[in-house]
Amino acid sequence: MAPLLKVKNMTHFFGGLRAVDNFNLEIEAGQIYGLIGPNGAGKTTTFNLITGVHTPTEGTIELEGEDIKGLEVHRIADKGLGRTFQNLALWRHMNVLDHIRMAHYSRLDYSLFGAFLGSPKCHKREREVIENSRRLLDLFDVGRFADQLVGNLPYGAQRRVEMARAMATNPKILFLDEPTAGMTPDELNRMIEIIRQVHRDFGVAIFLIEHRMKFVMELCESVQTLVFGEVIAEGPPAEIQNNPKVIEAYLGKEDIH
């Protein structure tokens, strides 16, 4: 059987800058996979290439054996690729509940005119969507904020809303771009728990970008290290952590542990 996500020989240039060089990846259903590397290594770019924000200069991307390269972002998202953003990308004038409702967009089964006239079908679907959204909010422990604007929430809660929103698209694989960026140690431990829980309850595969080794060590089954757009190491986290090339890349840049 084809792996869930398969990326082959993906290369991307921004003008003359080689942002990602010959990137390869295979993620099986239900796996937690990590991508680490110093700032500017091309990690976010890798995410953006797979999720369709940019189309790679070269290479192939397959989701469950189907070529998804060049599809529009919303199509790729609908096919089962959910994501969060490195710098929170929430909708500041929308309340928390509406964030989760929005992630059901591609699965609204009523027509535009149904929405205009408030057809019974539309009302029924909206009720289901709201019910499912509330369930997800509770699961991520942000249910009590449902009617508030996202900006009023504490930072950790905003991160959880973003994650709940990504899960509401019903993804097969969840992309997390530095889910613990800017978090306190307390919030960090909580996030580890939440990711474990998502993985367990939804059975979703997870592909995450991280800075902190501790996080990666605890969660991931396999890790790739990216430096200047190039993969310099791949394997289980314990191996990666002791790889001299990885240590060198991180030296003086980040606290590896």
Ligand X SMILES: Nc1ncnc2c1ncn2[C@@H]1O[C@H](COP(=O)(O)OP(=O)(O)O)[C@@H](O)[C@H]1O
**Beta strand residue intervals within the chain, DSSP E:** 5-14, 17-27, 32-36, 58-63, 66-67, 81-83, 173-177, 205-210, 222-227, 230-235
Asked whether position 55 contacts ligand X by CB under 6 A, the answer is: no
Q: How far is the CB of 127 from other proteins (least distance, A)?
A: 11
- The amino acid sitting at 51 is T
Strand, coil or helix: 204: coil
Q: How far is the CB of 244 from other proteins (least distance, A)?
A: 37
Site string (116-155) toward ligand X, x via CB under 6 A: ----------------------------------------
Asked whether position 45 contacts ligand X by CB under 6 A, the answer is: yes
Terminal-to-terminal C-alpha distance of the chain: 36
* Closer by beta carbon to ligand X, 69 or else 190: 69
Of 2, 9, 24, 40, which lies in the binding site for ligand X, with binding defined by CB under 6 A? 40
Alpha-carbon distance of 248 to 81, in angstroms, equals 33
Of 5, 19, 194, 249, which lies in the binding site for ligand X, with binding defined by CB under 6 A? 19
Stretch that binds ligand X, among 38-46, 114-122, 233-241, 245-253 (CB under 6 A): 38-46
- The amino acid sitting at 178 is E
Per CB under 8 A, residues contacting other proteins are 51, 53, 72-74, 77-78, 82-83, 85, 89-94, 98, 101-108, 110, 112, 115-118, 122, 126, 129, 165-166, 168-169
Alpha-carbon distance of 86 to 241, in angstroms, equals 23
Stretch that binds Mg ion, among 40-48, 56-64, 72-80, 123-131 (CB under 5 A): 40-48
Rounded (10°) CA dihedral 20, 222, 26, 64:
-120
Query: In whole angstroms, how far apart are CA 6 and each of 20, 101, 145?
Result: 16, 30, 38
Interface residues toward ligand X, by CB under 6 A: 14, 17, 19, 37, 39-45
Interface residues toward Mg ion, by CB under 5 A: 44, 86
